[in-house]
Chain A
Amino acid sequence: MSSTAGLKSRIPSLFALREWQLTLPLALFLGLFYLAPLLLMAVVSVSQQGVSGISFASYVQFLSDPTNLKILFDTIWMGTQVTLLCLLIGYPLAYVYSRANAGWQKVLTFLILLPLLTSAVVRTFAWIVILGREGIVNSALLGLGLAENPIRLLFTHQGVVIALAQVQLPMMVLPLVSAMTRVDLNLEYASASLGAGAWQTFRKIALPLSLPGITAGCLLTYALSVSSFVTPSIIGGSSILYMPTFIYQQAMVLVNWPLAAAVSIILLITVLTIVIAFNSLDRVSRRYQ
């Protein structure tokens, strides 16, 4: 009897994990399959084919070539443009969602999530049909008499930005919706009752309180855009190079793994810099909470 009671008292203490211990499986998983390959990549990036010892030749090679720097700049610029475009389109949509009734919210949820149910490859090929010389955009422009000749959208930087914005839009809208639906509407009613106009209420209440959603959405969209491979490759063709395509070429076509690893690390540092910047913005937004 006493031994059974002892057993019962030990079982809870055996399995009573502290909260932080619940993260152990994920930490182990990330350590094995994310951090370890990343460290390996960092090691490869400071190696040189056929030469022993540490060498930063690959970093120097990349950063000393103006063409390569242009590829890096184009990638950052493309990511920024896609993020801003997604924010411009996604913010009003999320705003409408947060104020819609339950029925409309269901419809909007379906519309927001619909693109995620289709592969990015399929959506990108659809953009070839839309942006092509004989595509929907050009047919409409020519049909309406707004252009005399088809405008060039495919194989352009602008084409990549447009297609990628559509592909990444749910990544912007979902955090925005999450942040906006948590805002207490009574704050806005109070603002209005105290004499603030619609614009002032939006600027001083709605916008600051939605900042966590904006930072999370921008972060997701930016990181996914600068690291995307399929859409820039298909819509941009072989004549527009971004960092992921450059890394692929160095690793798979030219089998120059040190340079590919160095460029990957440079891209990672670039993205991390933006993440830190957004986190600073997030800290500012918390002052309003």
Chain B
Amino acid sequence: MSDRFIQRMSRRTVLGAGLFLGTSWALKSCTAATAPSGTTQANSSSEPNAGGATGGQVVTASFPGTTENLFRDKLAPLFSQTGKGQLSVVPLLAFEQVARLKAAPDNPPFDVVFLDDGQTDIAMKAGLIQPFPADRSSGFSNVDSSFLGKQGLAPIFYMQGVVIGYNPERVKTPPKAWEALLDSNLDGRLGLVSMNSVLGTSFMVEMAKLKGGSESDIEPAFAALKQILSKVGGVAANPGALSTLFQQGEVDVAPMWHNDVLSLKAKGIPVEWVVPESGMIAARYSLNLVSKPKSGVDAAAAYVETALGKEAQSILSASPYYFVPSDKTVQLDAAITEKIGAKTSTEFIQKANVLDWATINQQRSTWIERFNKEVKV
């Protein structure tokens, strides 16, 4: 019997069977990779926003660096304690998250995205994210009404302010306003960040506004930039790289995130910061559920709920993160209060300029391309 069976086996049969088994295995692996172990696979029923069952692994996107550390070290254990799942963190910049969602909208690589106002607007219009089930949340009550998400999206998670950071050992006359960065007498090398980042774009738009431009007219900022190119010590690819340049003594003065300056200062790097006379620029970030979360809406929403909870929000403000949480009842770190004079998120936002990202988005791609071509240091 067995002999007859082997005799019937041709080389073609063996290769065919091998190919079939290999393909099946590969396809199975692909499915397993998108539905991590312990996760009930998302429901691909006719309900587009339904997602699947709760529990399992929630994959969240995060910015690389400090935010990634925060998500891994603090949010993941907090979420695990709720018993509603485990957290897996994918570090990506905001535009990278949106690009990956656009590449695979029906099979998103993460369940929750972490985006600034501008990219949130793009993701919302492209139908990549969905409203947050606010009726299941208790964290909403502590969020200032101005931080509640547009069109039912999740509220703001945290904020950052763009300030002027400088090295007090090299810059003897501390700059007081954004215009000081254009001053040829400023004794320091200027550091900039590419307009790919919120920080870089915010600085350019603010500069344009000070020179008579607006969110829709950035021409004055490019004109001003041409005048100071000789003073630019380096253009970093992202804010994290800018901190490295500061640390290495490559640049002495730069528009920086307030919390990056505080983090550098805590490490003993000679750096100080001032809030410009015209006010700092605030950037806001939120965690939003993607349209078809593999972990299911319940688990993804539970994770966002954890991030909006009192404990997580208190951690955000403290060392070594120094972010501004959206929970209005959380007291900001003394280092922030001392410089900005704001004790809570509500006071912080009152003292800051919030840009119109819907208008900026209409031209941002063109600006990024232009910046990359024109800024040759």
- Asked whether, in the complex, the Cβ of B250 is within 8 Å of the Cβ of A249, the reply is no
**Residues A129 and B248 in contact, CB atoms below 8 Å apart:** yes
B contacts, CB < 8 Å to A: 3, 6-7, 9, 11, 14-15, 19, 22, 95-96, 98-99, 102, 193-194, 196, 234-237, 241, 244, 248-250, 365, 368-369, 372-373, 375-377
Does any Cβ of B come within 8 Å of A196's Cβ? no
A227-269 CB mask vs B (1 if < 8 Å, else 0) is 0000001100111110000000101111110000000000000
How far is B98's CA from A236's CA once the two chains are assembled, in angstroms? 26
Enumerate chain A residues within 8 angstroms of B237, measured Cβ to Cβ.
233-234, 237-238
Contacts of A254 in B (CB 8 A): 365, 368-369
Contact B377 A155, beta carbon cutoff 8 Å: yes
| A-B CB contact pairs (8 Å), 19 listed | A4-B3, A7-B6, A11-B6, A14-B6, A28-B22, A67-B373, A132-B249, A133-B248, A155-B234, A155-B377, A237-B237, A237-B241, A238-B237, A249-B368, A252-B99, A253-B95, A254-B365, A255-B98, A255-B99
- Please, how many angstroms separate the alpha-carbon atoms of A265 and B6 in the complex? 48
A56 vs B94: C-alpha distance in the bound complex, in angstroms? 30
Interface presence of A6 (CB below 8 A): yes
- Whether B3 lies near A3 (C-beta < 8 A) is yes
Which residues does chain B contribute within 8 Å of A251, judged by CB atoms? 99
A67 — which chain B residues lie within 8 A by C-beta? 373
Residue ID in chain B nearest A241 by CB atoms? B372
Residues in A neighbouring B11, C-beta threshold 8 A: 14
Q: Does A219 sit within 8 A of B, measured CB to CB?
A: no
Q: How far is the CA of A253 from the CA of B375 in the complex (A)?
A: 17
A203 interface contact, C-beta 8 A:
no
A211 in the interface (beta carbon within 8 A) = no
- Tell me the nearest residue of chain A to B194, going by C-beta: A238
CB distance from A282 to the nearest CB of B (A): 35
Binary B-proximity of A1-31 (CB < 8 A = 1, otherwise 0): 0011011001100100000000010001000
Q: In the bound complex, do residue A237 and residue B234 qualify as a contact, i.e. CB atoms below 8 Å apart?
A: yes
CB-based contact A249/B7 at 8 Å = no
Q: Which residues of B contact A133 (CB under 8 A)?
A: 248-250
Sorted nearest first, the 10 A-B pairs with minimum C-beta distance are: A238-B194, A238-B235, A239-B377, A239-B235, A134-B249, A252-B99, A254-B365, A132-B248, A238-B237, A253-B95
Interface contact B249-A238, CB-CB below 8 Å? no
Known: A252-B99, A254-B368. A134 touches B375 (CB 8 A): no
Residues of A at the B interface (CB closer than 8 Å) are 3-4, 6-7, 10-11, 14, 24, 28, 67, 128-129, 132-135, 154-155, 233-234, 237-241, 249, 251-256
Instruction: Taking A14-B6, A238-B237, A253-B196 as given, write out 19 further A-B residue pairs in contact, using a Cβ cutoff of 8 Å, ordered by the A residue number.
Output: A3-B3, A7-B3, A7-B6, A10-B6, A14-B9, A128-B248, A132-B250, A133-B249, A134-B248, A135-B248, A237-B236, A239-B375, A241-B372, A249-B368, A249-B369, A251-B99, A252-B96, A253-B99, A253-B368
Question: In the bound complex, what is the Cα–Cα distance between A10 and B14 (angstroms)?
Answer: 14
CB distance from B165 to the nearest CB of A (A): 18
Please name all residues of chain B whose beta carbon is closer than 8 Å to the beta carbon of A129 when the two chains form the complex.
Answer: 248
Least CB distance from B25 to A in Å reads 13
CB within 8 Å: A-B pair count: 80
B372 contacts A6, C-beta separation under 8 Å: no
Query: Chain A binding site: helix, strand, loop or mixed by DSSP?
Result: helix
Q: Which residues of B contact A253 (CB under 8 A)?
A: 95, 99, 196, 365, 368
Q: Which of A28, A154, A233, A239 contacts B250 (CB 8 A)?
A: A154
A133-B250, A154-B250, A255-B99 known; A249 vs B6 contact (CB < 8 Å): no
What are the residues of chain A within 8 A of B250 when measuring CB–CB?
Answer: 132-133, 154
Q: How far, in angstroms, from A68 to B99 measured CA to CA in the complex? A: 23
Distance between Cα atoms of A14 and B237 in the complex (Å): 58
Taking a contact as CB atoms under 8 Å apart, the answer to whether B372 and A249 are in contact is yes
B194 to chain A, nearest CB (A): 4
Residues of B within 8 A of A24 (CB): 15
Please give, as numbers and ranges, the residues of chain B lying within 8 Å of A135 by CB-CB distance: 248
In the docked arrangement, what's the CA distance between A4 and B2, Å?
A: 11
- Which residues of B are found within 8 Å of A128, using beta-carbon distances? 244, 248
CA distance A156 to B40 in the complex (A): 51
Q: Which of A6, A234, A241, A252 contacts B7 (CB 8 A)?
A: A6
A255 touches B102 (CB 8 A): yes
Residue of B nearest to A17 (CB): B11
Q: Write out the residue numbers on chain A whose beta carbons fall within 8 Å of the beta carbon of B248.
A: 128-129, 132-135
User: Cα distance A6–B3 when bound, in Å?
Assistant: 9
**Chain B nearest Cβ from A88, distance in angstroms:** 28
- Residue contact B241 to A234, C-beta cutoff 8 Å: yes
Residues of B within 8 A of A7 (CB): 3, 6-7
By beta carbon, the residue of chain B nearest A125 is: B244
| Assembly CA distance A256 to B236 (angstroms) | 23
Alpha-carbon distance between A132 and B249 when the two chains are bound, in angstroms: 8
B19 CB contacts on chain A under 8 angstroms: 28
How close is B225's CB to chain A, nearest CB, in angstroms? 12
Q: How far is the CA of A26 from the CA of B102 in the complex (A)?
A: 32
> How near does chain A come to B216, taking the closest CB pair, in angstroms?
19
The one of B15, B95, B368, B376 in contact with A239, judged by C-beta atoms closer than 8 angstroms, is B376
Whole-angstrom distance between the Cβ of B97 and the nearest chain A Cβ: 10
Whether A237 contacts B235 by the Cβ 8 Å rule is yes
Distance, CA A10 to CA B375, complexed state (A): 72
B127 to chain A, nearest CB (A): 15
**Complex contacts, A134 vs chain B, CB 8 Å:** 248-249
A218 CB to nearest B CB, Å: 30
Taking CB atoms, residues of chain A closer than 8 Å to B14 are 14
